Amino acid sequence: MFDILKDPHALITHKEHWKDYYLFTLESPIIASRAQPGQFIMVRVSSLPYPLLRRPFSIHSVGGKKIEIFFQKSGVGTSLLSNKITGDFMDIIGPLGKGFSWSQHSKTQDIVLIGGGRGIAPLYFLAQKLHSVGAAPKIFYGGNTKDDIPLKEKFEQKGFEIYCSTDDGSFGFRGLITDCFKDQLKNLTPKQIFACGPEPMMKAIYQVAVRKGIPAEFSLESVMGCGFGACWGCVKKIKTKEGTEWIKICEEGPVFSSFEIVWEEQEK
């Protein structure tokens, strides 16, 4: 935990956006040097008291002294952040949490990464790392429409094999990314799944993974108060030696394995 750093002067060196999706490149050498796929940063949105809390963002990629974050404008906090421009500073804390256990997969070729919507964010960094150790992960990337899968080209340009789906059929497989994945299981025999996205998507993948006996890890999203374990606000029910417990996503997660997560019954 002593690897956590507050960097109030992470310089925005590059910004891109597609409709409501934003990609920021931040210069933060120490955080970049320590970051692992699946970890996140907490970003201060405003120096004023509103919006009050920092917002959590997965580390989308690391290159040299720089990290990237990828997010969707969806509320007051992300709207304010989206107005930041190249040359501005961001006040960030990181790297936080425990990431994906990717390092043992150097010789595993059949790895599948599944991202839904903005949940694709941490999977690019993971794909980078897997690639660097000689693995060739296959990417499944789904969104509501073709506008919701803006990072498709980015993966393609790096030579990753990518399968896309859109709910409305405007690009790729028509339907959910989980169905697209199930469809491809005719041809694939994954040895490991890593996923991030809306909870129903991850739960569906979990069910497939369990049925097929494929190890899987999931990166969970949560409202967070602090991001470093002090507020106990971001819990998920996790299986422990004693049964189940509310475990802090920020500290013990955000990545958990299929064996750990207790999926909630579908409400509403």
Partner 1 sequence: MIDLSVDFGFIKLKNPVLAASGTFGYGIEFSPFIDLNKLGGFVVKGLYYSPRPGNPPQRLVETPSGLINAIGLQGIGVKKFAEDILPQLRKYQTAIIVNVCGETEEEYAKVVDFLNKEDGVSLYEINISCPNVKKGGLCPAQNPESTYSVVHLVKEVSARPVITKLSPNVTDIVEIALSAQEAGSDAISLVNTFLAMAIDVETRRPKLANTLGGLSGPAIKPLALRMVYQVVKHLNIPVIGIGGIMTDQDALEFLIAGARAVQVGTANFVDPEATLKIIQDIQRYCELNKINRIEDIIGTLNE
CB-wise, 185 or 230, nearer to partner 1? 230
Phi, psi torsion values for 182, nearest 5 degrees: -60, -40
231 binds partner 1 (CB under 8 A): yes
Residue with smaller CB distance to partner 1, 107 or 241: 241
Say whether residue 198 binds partner 1 (CB under 8 A): no
Using CB under 8 A, which of 33, 229, 239, 263 touches partner 1?
A: 229
Residue with tokens 């500073």: 89
Interaction of residue 215 with partner 1, rule CB under 8 A: no
Q: Which of 12, 53, 80, 208 binds partner 1 (CB under 8 A)?
A: 53
Judge whether 30 and 16 are in contact, CB under 8 Å.
Answer: no
DSSP-assigned beta bridge partners for residue 235 = 248
Stretch that binds partner 1, among 51-59, 65-73, 163-171, 180-188 (CB under 8 A): 51-59
Which one of residues 156, 200, 232, 259 is an interface residue with partner 1 (CB under 8 A)?
A: 232
Helix locations, the chain, DSSP H: 29-34, 76-82, 121-132, 152-157, 177-184, 199-212, 249-252
- C-beta closer to partner 1: residue 20 or 91: 91
Of the candidates 151, 134, 191, which has an alpha carbon nearest to the alpha carbon of residue 23?
151
Strand partners, 43: 55, 92
Output the smallest distance, CB 231 to partner 1, in A. 6
Q: For CA atoms 220, 221, 225, 226, give the dihedral sign.
A: positive
Site for partner 1 in 127-186 (CB under 8 A): none
The reply on whether position 30 binds partner 1 by CB under 8 A is no
Nearer to partner 1 (CB atom), residue 123 or residue 202: 202
DSSP one-letter code for 197: S
State the burial class of residue 233 (Cβ atoms within 10 Å of its Cβ: 0-12, 13-18, 19+).
middle
Beta carbon nearer to partner 1, 77 or 142: 77
Short-list 125, 139, 134, 53, CA closest to 95: 125
Among 170, 245, 257, 263, binds partner 1 (CB under 8 A): 245
Element (H, E) at 171: none
Indicate whether 93 belongs to the interface with partner 1 (CB under 8 A): yes
Judged by CB under 8 A, the number of residues near partner 1 is: 32
257 binds partner 1 (CB under 8 A): no
Distance spanning both ends of the chain, measured CA to CA? 38
Q: How far apart are CA 52 and CA 49, in angstroms?
A: 5
Position 52 contacts partner 1 (CB under 8 A): yes
The rounded distance, in Å, linking the Cα atoms of 162 and 19 is: 22
Is 199 among the residues that bind partner 1 (CB under 8 A)? Answer: no
Q: Which is nearer to partner 1, 214 or 249 (CB)?
A: 249
> Which chain residues interact with partner 1 by CB under 8 A?
1-6, 44, 49-54, 93, 222-226, 228-237, 245-246, 268
